[in-house]
Amino acid sequence: MKVCIIGQGYIGLPTAVLFADNGCEVVGVDINPNIINSLNSCELHIEEPGLKEKLELAINNKRYSASLNPHKSDVFIITVPTPNNIEDLSCDLSYVISACESIIPCLEKENIVIIESTIAPMSTNKIIKPIFEKAGFEIGKDLYLAHCPERVLPGKIIEELINNDRIVGGITPRCSNKAAEVYETFVKGKIMKTEAKTAEMSKCMENTFRDVNIALANELTKICSKIGVNSLDVIELANKHPRVNIHSPGPGVGGHCLAIDPYFIYSLAPDEAKMIKLARDTNNSMPKFVVDKTKEILENIDGIKTIEAPKIGILGVAYKGNTVDTRESPSLICIELLKKEGFEIAIHDPHVEDENYCSFEECIKDASLCIVLSDHDEFKNLDYDLMKEKMRNPIIFDTKNIVKNNESKDLIVINYGNLD
């Protein structure tokens, strides 16, 4: 089977190498020439366990190549980003639309087109289907179109692509059957067939469910910090109940999924989607909460008023642990707010390269406080001795609850459990 995958990011690239790994001839297409050049030289632009080895194998076996243009294939899979439209936060389909238009010259009868990008409910029927009809195809008769949302967690993408159950939403039942056969190539989970609009809503709702649950944990933390209860203990104990699963509070919700997709539903029915919007607002309020708590912590340090602009060391800008991805990262908003408050800011992230970021040692040097904002493995066991030696005031504010309990009285670790 020949497979052409448009978009070689977090989803498109791992999907491409898995098809190649299972005997398919794969072309990975991207509009970014730098990505194409690096992929053809076997270099990754994203960080994902197990991906590099699979890419090397696919290139050596001549089953994978990257290209700026689509090639004739049996199957076309679209994995491009879908941001929010600025005005109303609805789903911006412009990358999906241009990806669909780009494959039209390569399309032949009996081809299968699959949209994996997360899209608002009704998009496949109302916007994507007409693009192919205009090009002369009859969907379900001579071209098969389906929405099959990706559902994998960055950091576990390869494992989850293979083992997760898969939703396949065809425009017609025949479209669903054709798309299901494609995924049978490597998917070990169940392949569940449905309509395109049901698949679209299911995917948006999965991410909304997680966002709402994180908002509940964040709200709990705010309440507990106000009345003097340890919110982390509350979560640990409440989660011992067999039907309770309170999520983890943090500095906010980032990434290209949870911070974006709930708005796709909200913009379609703003009067009804009240809880969904409130959860977004609550999670968006967390960077300000972090900054307010930072100010309170600093106010309690002796002699802090004599420093004009106290230095704060920021540990982590990635939206979550062990990734290079900073899209929608709450850490970036915390940094902006802290700068506006007049603090001197130094930033360190062992995964994210940026000329403005510095080494761990430089970051902590003379700092009155270090704030952990990403749950990278490197931050779980920090060099406490170095911190005690280099920091002006050895205090860590751990917003991700990952810093190991520190026995030493000379270094203070504050997390969401002991904020009061």
The nearest distance, CB 251 to ligand SAJ, in angstroms, is: 8
Tell me whether residue 203 is one of the annotated catalytic residues: yes
Quick check: 174 binds ligand SAJ (CB under 6 A)?
Answer: no
Quick check: 118 binds ligand SAJ (CB under 6 A)?
Answer: yes
Quick check: 153 binds ligand SAJ (CB under 6 A)?
Answer: yes
- DSSP conformation class of 405: P
State which residue, 129 or 320, has the beta carbon closest to ligand SAJ.
320
Q: Name the catalytic one among 129, 193, 197, 203.
A: 203
- Amino acid at residue number 208: T
Residues 298 to 357: which contact ligand SAJ by CB under 6 A?
A: 319-320
Q: How many residues bind ligand SAJ (CB under 6 A)?
A: 20
Quick check: 151 binds ligand SAJ (CB under 6 A)?
Answer: yes
Binder of ligand SAJ out of 22, 248, 285, 401 (CB under 6 A):
248
Cβ atoms of residues 27 and 65 within 8 Å: yes
Quick check: 12 binds ligand SAJ (CB under 6 A)?
Answer: no
Residues 81 to 100: which contact ligand SAJ by CB under 6 A?
A: none
Of the candidate spans 69-77, 248-256, 296-304, 344-352, the one that interacts with ligand SAJ by CB under 6 A turns out to be: 248-256
State which residue, 73 or 208, has the beta carbon closest to ligand SAJ.
208
String of contacts with ligand SAJ for each residue 203-232, x by CB under 6 A: ---xx--x---x------------------
- Rounded to whole angstroms, the Cα distance separating 179 from 156 reads 23
- Rounded to whole angstroms, the Cα distance separating 401 from 417 reads 8
State which residue, 196 or 333, has the beta carbon closest to ligand SAJ.
333
How many other C-beta atoms can be found within 10 angstroms of the C-beta atom of residue 189? 14
Of the candidate spans 93-101, 252-260, 292-300, 388-396, the one that interacts with ligand SAJ by CB under 6 A turns out to be: 252-260
In sequence order, the β-bridge partners of residue 111 are 143
Q: Name the catalytic one among 257, 334, 363, 370.
A: 257
Half-sphere exposure of 376 (CA within 13 A, CB side): 25
The nearest distance, CB 78 to ligand SAJ, in angstroms, is: 14
Gyration radius from the chain CA atoms: 24
Q: How far is CA 160 from CA 150, 153, 156, in A?
A: 10, 7, 6
Give ∠ CA 111-70-175 in degrees, rounded to 5: 20
State which residue, 143 or 257, has the beta carbon closest to ligand SAJ.
257
Binder of ligand SAJ out of 170, 250, 316, 394 (CB under 6 A):
250
Q: How far is CA 251 from CA 42, 227, 248, in A?
A: 35, 20, 10
Of the candidate spans 42-50, 228-236, 254-262, 378-386, the one that interacts with ligand SAJ by CB under 6 A turns out to be: 254-262
The nearest distance, CB 299 to ligand SAJ, in angstroms, is: 26
State which residue, 100 or 257, has the beta carbon closest to ligand SAJ.
257
Phi first, then psi: give them for residue 170, nearest 5 degrees.
-85, 160
Tell me whether residue 257 is one of the annotated catalytic residues: yes
Quick check: 121 binds ligand SAJ (CB under 6 A)?
Answer: no
- Closest Cα partner for 103 from 115, 91, 93? 115
- Rounded to whole angstroms, the Cα distance separating 191 from 154 reads 21
Name the token pair of 119: 């899209």
Quick check: 247 binds ligand SAJ (CB under 6 A)?
Answer: yes
- DSSP conformation class of 401: S
Half-sphere exposure of 254 (CA within 13 A, CB side): 26
Quick check: 238 binds ligand SAJ (CB under 6 A)?
Answer: no
- Rounded to whole angstroms, the Cα distance separating 109 from 89 reads 36
Quick check: 200 binds ligand SAJ (CB under 6 A)?
Answer: no
Q: How far is CA 63 from CA 17, 23, 56, 237, in A?
A: 9, 7, 10, 51
Task: State the catalytic residues.
Answer: 203, 257
Applying CB under 6 A, the residues found at the interface with ligand SAJ are 118, 150-154, 206-207, 210, 214, 247-248, 250, 253-255, 257-258, 319-320
